[in-house]
Amino acid sequence: MRFIFSLLLCLPMTVMAAQVADLYIGDVPVASRSNADQQRAIRDALSQVLVRVTGDATVATLPEAQSLLRNANNVLLSYSYQGGAPLHLEVRFDGQQINQQLRAASLPIWGAQRPQTLIWLAMDDENNGRMLLSDTTAETEVLDADAAKRGLPLTLPLLDLEDTMAVSINDVWGNFVGPIAQASARYHPDFFLSGRVAQQDGQWAYQMSLFAPKKESEYGLHRSLVRRDGLAPTREAAISSMMADLASYYAGRYAAVAGEAGGSSQMVFELNGGIEQLVALERYLRSLAPIQDLTIHSVVGRTITFDLDLIGGISELQQLLSLESRVEEVEPVDTFEQDLGDQPRYRWADR
C-alpha cells in the first residue's frame, strides 16, 4: 500500500482518516535462502510489524516483546521470497495471535484506523539550496518508505500555484504556522505537520511541529500538539526519526493498552439507513483496536445501543471515532433520550 497519496487537481480536496492495510505483513532484506538467514529475517519482519502495530520504534528492545520475537514462528502464517537486489522476504503473521500476546504483555495496540497527516517539509538539498517536498520530488521516496513501515498515512501538498502563493519555503523553514494552516485547509487533513531537515556540523538536524486544523487558542493562534527535534547522521535517518516521533505521538493518543481503564461500556448510534447500515457500522466498530468485543444491547427504531468490551478506556475509542467522517457526535434531543444515561451518542452516515 502506498502511504503518500497523490492528490489530483481534478478531484475534490477531501482527505479523511485512513484504513491502513497489511499491518501484519513484514518485508525485510535477506542475505540468502538459507534456513539461518530465513529465521533471522522472520524475526526482523515480526519486529517491523510490532513497530507498526504498537507505534513504538523501540518495542523490539522491551523485555515484554522478547518472548514474542523469540517465538516468531508461532505467529507465522506464510512467507515468500521477492526477487531483486537485495533479495527480500515477505512474511505474513497472525494478527489475532499477535494482539492477544500484546494484550497479555500490556503493550499498546494501534488499530488500522489512523489519522491522515498533511506534511509540509523543508530541507537542505545536495546543492546547498533548500526545497519543499511534494509528491513529485525524488526525496519523497525516503519519507514514503519510512511512513509505510510505520503505518502512517501521509499526504504531501501539491505545491501548485494556489499553494505557492499561500506558503513560501521560508514559512515552513521558520514554522510560521498562520499561512501553513490557511493553505492546509483545502486538503482537509486530520492533522498537519510543519518540519525542516537541515545540515548541522556534519550531521542532520530535524524539527517538527504537529497541529490540528481546528485547534486554535483564544487569540486565533494555532498551538502545536507536539514539538520534536533531534540530530541524526544522515538526512534519511533524520526523516526516519521524525516519523518515529510522529508515530509515537499518535500511538499514545489512539492505541489501546490492556488494563488501562478497560472493561464494559455502552454506546448509542443512530442510523440513517437499514440493515446494510448496521452491518457496515458493526464491521467498522470491530476494526477499532480498543473494542475487544461488542453485542447489540437494544434496537429502538433506528437507534442501536451496543454493549462494548473495551481494551483501554472509552476516551481512546472516542478519539478514534472523531477521525471517522461517517461518525457524528449528537446530543440527546428529548427527556426520554436523556434518561437513557450518559452513554456516548453518535450518528452513523455511511455514504
Tell me whether the omega of the peptide bond preceding residue 86 falls within 30 degrees of 0, making it cis: yes
Q: Tell whether 14 and 159 lie within a shared domain.
A: yes
Cβ-based neighbour number of residue 274 at 10 Å: 9
The C-alpha atoms of residue 31 and residue 8 are separated, in whole angstroms, by 40
Q: Tell whether 69 and 141 lie within a shared domain.
A: no
Q: Tell whether 30 and 15 lie within a shared domain.
A: no
pLDDT of residue 9: 33
pLDDT block averages, 10 residues each, the chain of length 351:
35 60 95 96 98 96 94 97 91 96 93 94 87 89 93 96 96 96 94 96 96 68 91 96 97 82 84 89 89 91 92 83 89 54 81 62
Degrees to nearest 5, angle at CA 314 with 292 and 265: 65
Q: How buried is 181 (Cβ within 10 angstroms: 0-12 exposed, 13-18 middle, 19+ buried)?
A: buried
Q: What is the 3-state secondary structure (H, E, C) of 212-239?
A: CCCCECCCCCECCCEEEEEEECCHHHHH
pLDDT of residue 101: 94
**Last residue of one domain, picked from the residues 254, 289, 310:** 254
Q: Tell whether 240 and 140 lie within a shared domain.
A: yes
Q: Tell whether 79 and 135 lie within a shared domain.
A: no
Domain limits at 147?
Answer: 4-19+112-254
State the pTM of this model. Answer: 0.84
Closest Cα to residue 205, out of 228, 183, 186, 181?
A: 228
Task: Say what the alpha-carbon torsion angle 135, 139, 141, 146 is, to the nearest 10 degrees.
Answer: -110
pLDDT of residue 153: 96
pLDDT of residue 341: 55
CA 185 vs. chain centroid, Å, equals 20
Q: Tell whether 212 and 323 lie within a shared domain.
A: no
- The CATH number of residue 308's host domain is 3.30.70
- The CATH number of residue 193's host domain is 3.30.160.100
Structural domains of the chain, count: 3
Cα–Cα distances in Å, from 152 out to 93, 221, 254, 330? 19, 27, 13, 29
Answer whether 148's CB lies under 8 Å from 2's CB. Answer: yes
Q: Tell whether 161 and 178 lie within a shared domain.
A: yes
